[in-house]
Amino acid sequence: MRRLLCKILFLSLAAPYLAGAEPRPGHMVYLRTVDPSIEQDIRYASPHNFTGHVLDGYAAPECLLSLEAAKALARVQTALRTQGYGLKVFDCYRPSRAVADMGRFATEPGDPLKAEFYPRLDKKDFWRLGYVARVSNHSKGNTVDLTLTGPQALPADTWTPAVAPVDCTAPYGQRWHDGALDMGTGFDCFDEPAHTDNPTINAVAKQNRQTLSRAMEKEGFAGYSKEWWHFTYTRDAALQNVMDFPITPLDPGSVLGTSHQLIVVTTKTWTDSQGTAQRYERQGNTFRPYEAPFPVVLGKSGLAWGKGLTPVDPQDGPIKREGDGKAPAGIFKLGTAFGYDTTADTRLPYLALTPAIECVDDSQSTHYNQLVDGATVAKDWNSSEHMRSMDELYRQGIVIQHNTPPSPASGSCIFFHVWRSPTSPTLGCTAMDQADMARLLSWLDPRQSPLLIQMPEEQYQHFSERWNLPGH
C-alpha cells in the first residue's frame, strides 16, 4: 500500500549580504537546476574539510558549474544510473577568495583536522606536492570534485566537530562514511593512496575509480593524477577566466532561467484536492499561456511544501509529512514518462511498464523512490507500488522529481497520472483526464527543461515576483 514519506530540508530564501560581491555570470548555473538527482555534499561550505573551517565565499552548500559542464555531468549521471551507480559532488565552482583562504591556512598555525586529511604531511608542502593550487581551475567553473555512489555503499554519517578524526587512508569501513563506494581513500586525502593510479589500493577501489574515470572521460572530463576525485571539463575552450563571485543560496528566480516550458498547477487553498493546470511556453524573457487550462485532482488532504528546487521558509505554509495525503508544493523537474503501451507519443524518456515494474516506497531500501524491475533487481524493500496493478491510473504518466536525490522518509513515487474521476483525489500525485495526459506527454520536450510549479493561488501570487513566475 502506498506511503507518502515526508521530511524537508529548510534553507532561508534570503541570501546573505556580501559587500562588493561580483554578480554570477550568465553561463554559470546551479547543478541542481540541471540534474537534481546528482547528490551534493559541498565540503567547503562546512568545517568538514582539510582546513577545519568554512572557506571564504561559500555562503551556501551549492554546486555551480558552467552550463555546458553541468549538462555534460548530467549525461555522466544518466549513463552511470543504467549501471546502478550515481554521482555525489564535493566541490564545483570555487571562488578565488576561497583559493586564497586555503593558501592562508597553509601558512598559519593550527591543524584542526590533520589527523583525517593529511596525517603524514606538513601543510607547508601542499603546493609543492600538488594538493593545493595557487590558481585553481575550480575558479573557472569547469572543474568538479566527486565520487561514485551505488547499492554497496555504506550509509553516509553526519559530521559534527565532536567526531573523532580517522585517517583518510584507513580501510573503507573505518574511515569517514561519506555515502559513496570504496574509492581507496576519502575525499581531499593528501596522501599517495589518493593518487588516481596508485597500485596499493584494493581491487574493489581500483575498479570503482576506473568506472568513474571512464564515465567522466567519455563526456569530456579529464582526471588529475594526484586526486582520484578531481575532473576538469575540456570541451569548452571559453572557460579561461578566474571568477570570484560568492556561492549563495539558490535564487528561485534562477530556476526558471533555463526553462522554456512550464506547467503551473494551482488550487484555491492548501486543503483543496481539486485544481487547475496551465501550460506556458517561453517567448523571449516572458512566458505565454499555451492552449487552454484543464482540471486536475491532487492529494486527498491538499498540498504542503515538498522537497523540490526551491527551499522555503517553514513559516510560509504547511510542511509535507509522512502519510499526510498531501501533494508536494514547490517547483519540480520532470523525469521519465511511463505507460502500459510499448511506445508513446512523447519526447521524454519512456518506460514501458511490465507487471514486474515497482516503485519502491520503503525508505530503508537502496532503491527508495525509484522505479525498478522486480524481476531483475535483488529485493531489499518491504513496501512498493506495483505499477501495473493500479487499474488505468498509470496507463500514462510522468515522474515528478520530488525528493530527488532521495532522503529517507521524505516522500516517494510522485507522478502525473490519469485520474479515476474529476472528484477522486490521489494519495499525493497530480492526476488528470487521459486526453489531457496524452496532450501533456506529446507537448513536453526535455530539451526545453520543463518544470512543474505547483501551489495554492495565494502562495503563487506571494512568490510571483520573487521567483519570476508567469502572470497567472
Backbone angles phi, psi at 68, to 5 degrees: -70, -40
Residue at 447: amino acid letter? R
- Determine the Cα–Cα distance for residues 190 and 417; give it in Å rounded to an integer: 50
- Determine the Cα–Cα distance for residues 334 and 398; give it in Å rounded to an integer: 7
**List of E strands, 116-217:** 143-149
Grid cell 517547483 — which residue? 331
Measured CA to CA in angstroms, residue 453 lies from 182, 256, 273, 278, 457 at distances of 38, 10, 16, 10, 11
Grid cell 555531468 — which residue? 73
Determine whether 71 is exposed, middle or buried from the number of CB atoms within 10 Å of its CB (0-12, 13-18, 19+). Answer: middle
Q: What DSSP element (H or E) covers 29?
A: strand 28-30
For residue 227, indicate whether it is catalytic.
yes
DSSP3 helix / strand / coil % (the chain, rounded to 5): 20, 25, 55
- Determine the Cα–Cα distance for residues 149 and 405; give it in Å rounded to an integer: 12
Question: To 5 degrees, how large is the angle CA 415–CA 34–CA 70?
Answer: 150
Residue at 463: amino acid letter? F
SS (H, E, C) 306-336: CCCCCCCCHHHCCECCCCCCCEEEEEEEEEE
- Determine the Cα–Cα distance for residues 346 and 392; give it in Å rounded to an integer: 19
**List of E strands, 216-342:** 221-224, 227-233, 261-267, 274-283, 286-297, 303-305, 327-339
Q: Which of 219, 227, 358, 385 is catalytic?
A: 227
Is there a contact between 412 and 406 (Cβ–Cβ < 8 Å)? yes
Task: DSSP for 83-128, please give it.
Answer: TT-EEEEEE----HHHHHHHHHHHHSS--TTHHHH-TT--GGGTTT
Counts of helices then strands in the chain (DSSP H, E)? 8, 20
Active site members: 227
